[in-house]
Structures are given as structure tokens and as C-alpha cells.
Amino acid sequence: MSFKSIMPIFYSKYRRRISCIFFLIQLIGASKGNERKVQLSRLSPKIAFGIEATIEHGSSSPYETLNDEKIKQCLQQAFTDSLGLVVVRWKPALDRRLNKDEFLALCEAFGQVEYETAVDGSFERLVDNDARIHEFSVAPSSRTTMTTVQFDGEKPSWHTDQSFRKPRPEASLLYCLNTPANGVGQTLFASTVLSANELHPKVLEYLRTTVARHSYSTLRTNLQNLSTSVDASVLTGDTDRFADYPLYNGDALDLAPHVIARVSGLDNEQSKRLVHALVRFATAPKFVYAHVWNVDDTVLWSNHRLMHAATPVTTLPSNRLMWRTTFAKMNHPDQRNIGNCVFPPPTITAEWFDDYNAAWSSLTPPQQFDSNKDSRYRQIEDLVTYLTELGG
């Protein structure tokens, strides 16, 4: 009897066992392919803030992965531990862009997405008329030239998103659909937590009780002055919008040099000198991370703990395309439900600060601040000098 002739008899006799074996093989393969986790690592050994969260999605779709509660918890924990900056990437790399539903699932893993119907000019539009997703090509501030990451009094255009609102967005997120090659159009991030921690307690106490007015009208005027290539008429928001915030919020410096109209207790010139000195200090290279964009990168940052700035995109029109959301409130992880996170080594912040203690320990900060105008003017000049020496 040939082999071919006995196969039907063999299969008929052991059909159930064979089917069961094949089912188990498929189940094991599917289980291995669908294993999902988030690998967390430091963005750079040279900076003490920021986490890269790599989503290992196996054979699962992005939407399935982002609706996994443990994956959501991992992403929330990454933001909590990052001092305000998370870069999300995928492994294996996606073979297509996230669609709208997948993008919103990613955003909603982090927090409550805002509905914001206002758009500013031709470089911004709503995606499918959905006020949660704003699409950007090239923002006006990226059309200006710059030679350094450290604020020079005009550039880069360091800011926090929509600081003229009260309450402002807690965080913002950009997703890269397309970007120029060779590192063009990087986004800079400066940790105002780290810079605040380097200031003398007497200075922080003064900044905590000193209020700055953030004004949309001031933003519009200053954006026009940044470059002759920028037409302020592209900004179409409410010019009467403003909000008041202290220069130090107890955790981080709160700065936006092109949006701050004035500082309490100071005239316009003093206000400008103080704010610019603070921003120059807070954007020293040791506080700054420069993100080089790749397609499918997602970057989330806190508007309470970071400033950010665009860098030049020289080719107009360019192939730069981003989706942005802002957040009214962030989600906080449930520590009991984190099982699929692979955490980075303990924070290096304490060690990092030790390296820079000498930068300010020998300097003498202003001793006190009072309401006398002449005395206050001298003290502001002393503070500006102190910040200049500290920041270089």
C-alpha cells in the first residue's frame, strides 16, 4: 500500500488530534506575534529630561495596540517620569501613516484632547473639520534665520503654546506625516524645570511672586518683527486675549518672550530686560534637546515644564506636514496596572545637577526686592547681571 493511499485513512482516524495540534500552533504563533509592550529609554545621555517610548506592537494594528490598557498606562508613566517630554516611536516601523482614528487613540492614551476651532492663517487647518486635530505646514516662526539655540533677544522663537489663554493647554503633541530630509526643521525643547533648579532660592522666591502678562496682541506684533518674510495678518486670533502667570510656578520657569507684554512692578524696558535675561539663561545648550524629525515620530511635551521653538525650514513650499493636538488635562497612570513597561535606569537628574553646582555657587544673587522704584531698578539690573553670568 502506497503512502498516498494510506494518508486519507490516517487523517480520518486522527483528524481531531491533527486539527487540535494545528490550532495550538496557530494560537501560540498569534500570541507571540501579538505580544505588546513599551520600551522606555532616555532621549540622550547628555540631557537630564525626556524619554523615548518605543511601542513594540508585534502583529497587532496600531488601533488595537493603543486600546490596550497596559500600553496606555506605560505611555502615561513615561510622560510622568520624563520631566515633560516624550518621543513615541514604533517597532517594527509602521508601513503606513496613522489614520485619524489611530492618531486620536494615541492622543487619548495621554489625556483629554481639546476642541479648538480657531486656526491662525494659511499654514494651519482643521483635519476633516475636526477641531481636535490641527494640521500645520510651515509656521511663520520657522521662516526666520537663526545661528544658535540660545535666545539672542529675538530668535529662536522660544514659547509655550497659547500661553495667552487661561487655562492654557497642559500639553501639546505633534505627529509627523512628512518632513524635509537632512535634519531640516528640527524642534528645540528647553527644560525650565532644570533651569529653575539652578537658580538661587532668593531669586526663585522673587520670580514666584512676580506676575507676567501673556498677550496675543504682543505675540502678533513680535512675530511681525521677527522677519520681513512673516506677515502678521496670517494670525487671525482674538487680539484681546491675555492671561497672567507668575514667572516661576513652583516647579518651573514660566516664560514666553514674544508673548509677555509686561511684568508686574516693572516698566516696559525693565520687563523686557528681565524676561530676555531669564530666557537666555533657560535656553543655554545644557538645558536644550533638539529633535530631528522622522516620519511617524510623535512628540508630546508639557506647556508647564518646557519651552519649545521651531528652527528654519528654508524651502518654501516645503514637504513638512504635522498634525497637532493640545490637552486640557493629562491622564495619570495607575501604578497597579503597569505590567508591560520596560523602564530606563534611575533618573540622572541629581548627578547632572552636581556637575553644575559650581556654575552658580560662587555668584551672589540680589539680596532682597522692595517696592521703591530706584532701588528696584538697581536690583533688576543686578538680577540681569546674575542671570547673564550664570547663563553665559
Q: Which of 40-49, 263-272, 291-300, 340-349 has the highest mean pLDDT?
A: 291-300
| Residue 144 confidence (pLDDT) | 59
pLDDT in tens, 96-145: 999 999 999 999 999 999 998 888 767 789 999 999 999 988 665 555 56
Mean pLDDT of 142-150: 71
Q: Record the pTM.
A: 0.81
β-bridge pairing 171-178 and 321-330: antiparallel
Nearest Cα residue to 73 out of 90, 93, 53: 53
pLDDT at 228 over 50: no
Cell of 341: 513597561
**Residue labelled with grid coordinates 522622522:** 294
More confident residue, 152 or 314: 152
Residues 6+ apart with CB under 8 A from 106: 62, 66, 88, 98, 175, 298
Q: Give 227's pLDDT tier (boundaries 50, 70, 90).
A: low
Q: Which of 112-126, 228-242, 304-318 has the highest mean pLDDT?
A: 112-126
Count of residues making up the chain: 392
Provide the terminal-to-terminal Cα distance of the chain, rounded to the nearest Å.
Answer: 92
**Residue labelled with grid coordinates 500600553:** 71
Chain-centroid distance, C-alpha 46: 18
Distance CA(257)–CA(114), nearest Å, equals 25
Q: Give 254's pLDDT tier (boundaries 50, 70, 90).
A: very high
3-state class (DSSP) for residue 284: coil
Cell of 304: 508647564
Query: Per-residue DSSP letters for 314-335?
Result: -SSS-S-EEEEEEEEEE----G
**∠ CA 312-148-293 to the nearest 5 degrees?**
45
| Residue 31 confidence (pLDDT) | 43
Mean pLDDT of 31-48: 77
Beta bridge partners of 40: 53
- 3-state helix, strand, coil split of the chain in percent (to 5) is 35, 25, 40
What totals of helices (H) and strands (E) does the chain contain, helices first? 11, 16
pLDDT at 244 over 90: yes
Distance CA(217)–CA(236), nearest Å, equals 11
Cβ-count burial 290-322 (b if 16+ within 10 Å, e if not):
ebebeebbbbbbbbbbbbbbbbbbeeeebebbb
Q: Give 221's pLDDT tier (boundaries 50, 70, 90).
A: confident
- H/E element holding 276? helix 268-282
Nearest Cα residue to 156 out of 132, 140, 133: 140
